[in-house]
Amino acid sequence: MATTFDVLFIGAGPGGYVGAIRAAQLGLSAAAIEMDKPGGVCVNVGCIPTKALLHSAHSANLVRHAKELGITTGDVTTDYGVAMKRSRRVADQNSRGVEYLLKKNKVELVRGKATLLPGKKVKVSGGTSGEVELTATKAIVIGTGSRAKDLPQIGLTYDGTKVISSTEALFLEKAPKTMAIVGAGAVGAEFADIFNAFGTEVTLLEVLPRILPVEDAEMSDVVAKAFKKRGIAVHAGAGIQGAKAEADGVSIVWAAGGKTETRKVDVVLVAAGRAPNVEGFGLEAVGVRLTERGFIEVDGRMQTNVPGYYAIGDVAGPPLLAHKGSREGVVAAEAIAGLSPHAIDYTNVPGATYCSPEVASVGFTEEQCKERGLEYVVGRFPFSANGRARCQGETDGLVKIIRGKRHGEILGAHIAGEHATEMIHELVVARANEFTVEEIEFAIHAHPTLSEAVGEAALDSLGRVIHI
């Protein structure tokens, strides 16, 4: 194995492996150092296995209503263990795919724990090659990702059995009878959907006034109503006062709406956010600076305060999304290669939550438009008025487009409904290219499709909606 490369990527997650491949495409010799499986959290214990489980959950709920479609089935039973094993196969296949892509592009995959040394050097230990020292002639790119946060201050410290993170949830052999989920962002909402479908009595707790708090309020409302209809106990504005693990479960106490409630559950899943992995690999040895929030400080080309050291992905700050990290990997690689990469517009990074109904968004929420003093007009179109949604029995939700009042630019776009995460990209492309709502409407949308709702929402923002 070579020990000198143009660029070293620490971490082979969505940022690191994509950045390393882009560096190789540009003629740089590159190595990716990974202490676990290639693909990082996303591929192995995040996005991919979670979405496999969500597909199982969606399928279970669809079968339960098959009679409405003219299909008669027997009693529907579920087995979380079987679904979990399928999700692991999917994750492993994707991880092997990442390894193949690195090999195909002649990126050296180095197994082990990386420790930064002065002079653009990295010590790799604990891997199959023993301890080795690698040198970068041009740059080192740090993509060490993030980890789930627990809440020891209120008695919720991970123990792997009764108080768990999303990682442990992905390996359960069976769905617990009862579960409280603390945190109703994307992760909490997705696992509430999954375990509800597999028969768990789910209590979803969110300290902020509504679930999915970073999304537009109308989208949050759609999901909250759908969850309650399916029997998920949703409590927003719920301040956790304490929790205590006992022999037969966890007692959790929260206050909401002026009253205090206590519930004992088999398992508490903490989905209260993630912390960047910035400790234990030598940042201080090379002088890389952190922000007040504990992320690595970077500029628009992903370079840190120390020349020749870059940071990408979760460790470089929010939003903590795989696709954002991948784009940052590309930007870093192109900057290192001497190009002038297209700057990332962080207001145009799409958000996606894959529970049922899904939520997807780009740009500003209506609340953010108000905070910024922007003059805007809102256009909406409900899926209940969309022919394809009626055909599929998927009429919950809406498309919402927020346009600038004067020029018609797309300030924000929000979709709640099945397949929202696929539909949002029309609006991401439009916003990236500074299209107006008129130009969205000029594009003929095929009939019958869910995407017609996008065109109708654009028309509604202009006061010309047709189908409502």
CA distance 274 to 263: 25
φ, ψ for residue 314 (rounded to 5)?
Answer: -55, -40
Residues in the chain: 468
* Contact criterion met (CB below 8 Å) for 98 and 68: no
* Contact criterion met (CB below 8 Å) for 283 and 304: no
Please report how many Cα atoms fall inside a 13 Å half-sphere around the Cα of residue 168, on the Cβ side.
16
> From the CB of residue 342, how many other CB atoms can be counted at a distance below 10 Å?
11
**According to the 3-state scheme, what is the secondary structure of the chain?**
CCCEEEEEEECCCHHHHHHHHHHHHCCCCEEEEECCCCCHHHHHHCHHHHHHHHHHHHHHHHHHCHHHHCCCCCCCCCCHHHHHHHHHHHHHHHHHHHHHHHHHCCCEEEECEEEEECCCEEEEEEECCEEEEEEEEEEEEECCCEEECCEHHHCECCCCCCEECHHHHCCCCCCCCEEEEECCCHHHHHHHHHHHHCCCEEEEEECCCCCCCCCCHHHHHHHHHHHHHCCCEEEECCEEEEEEEECCEEEEEEEECCEEEEEEECEEEECCCEEECCCCCCHHHHCCCECCCCCECCCCCCECCCCCEEECHHHHCCCCCHHHHHHHHHHHHHHHCCCCCCCCCHHHCCEEECCCCCEEEEECCHHHHHHCCCCEEEEEEEHHHCHHHHHHCCCCCEEEEEEECCCCEEEEEEEECCCHHHHHHHHHHHHHCCCEHHHHHHCCCCCCCCCHHHHHHHHHHCCCCCCC
Please report how many Cα atoms fall inside a 13 Å half-sphere around the Cα of residue 186, on the Cβ side.
20
CA distance 407 to 418: 31
User: Catalytic: 447?
Assistant: yes
* Contact criterion met (CB below 8 Å) for 395 and 465: no
Q: Considering 342, 414, 447, 467, which one is annotated as catalytic?
A: 447
Tokens of 375: 């003059």
Residues marked active site are found at 447
